[in-house]
Amino acid sequence: QAVVTQEPSLTVSPGGTVTLTCGSSTGAVTSGHYPYWIQQKPGQAPRTLIYDTSNKHSWTPARFSGSLLGGKAALTLSGAQPEDEAEYYCLLSYSGPYVFGAGTKVTVL
């Protein structure tokens, strides 16, 4: 089974910008992996912010954006807010089965 890699933790200042990345043990992440970005706050159910690389749901704040960057999927948070402090999971599709990354803990400090 493929392994999806993410930074364990990142810190961003309020109002600042941070980019989370998501790599695959099988090679470059492409649009064919249909990358997802899922936010989870302590004690809450997950909430999907980004699907299919860069598409947003109606509840996704505009400050979040998804892209492909240097062979990885990326989630950029521009203008971080205190409420963005959370765990962020990348999810990739491998022609059917899905694999989550271990998550990135984002601290807004």
Partner 1 sequence: EVQLVESGGGLVKPGGSLRLSCAASGLTFSDAWMNWVRQAPGKGLEWVGRIKSKNDGVTTDYTAPVKGRFTISRDDSKNTLYLQMTSLKTEDTAVYYCATAGGFSGSPWNFQYWGQGTLLTVSS
Binding site for partner 1 (CB under 8 A): 1, 34, 36, 38, 40, 45-48, 51-52, 55, 57, 87, 89, 91, 93, 96-103
CB-wise, 82 or 100, nearer to partner 1?
Answer: 100
Shortest reach from residue 9's CB to partner 1, in Å:
13
Give the separation between CA 54 and CA 85, rounded to whole angstroms.
21
Between residues 10 and 99, which has the closer beta carbon with respect to partner 1?
99
* In the complex, minimum distance from the CB of residue 107 to partner 1, in angstroms, rounded to a whole number: 17
C-beta of 103: minimal distance to partner 1 in Å? 5
Q: Give the nearest distance from C-beta 89 to partner 1 in angstroms.
A: 5
Residue 45 or 82: which CB sits closer to partner 1? 45
Q: CB–CB of 77/104 below 8 Å?
A: no
Question: DSSP letters of 73-93?
Answer: EEEEEES--GGG-EEEEEEEE
Whether the Cβ atoms of residue 23 and residue 33 lie closer than 8 Å to each other: no
- For residue 98, give both structure tokens: 């899905």
Sign of CA dihedral 96, 87, 5, 35: positive
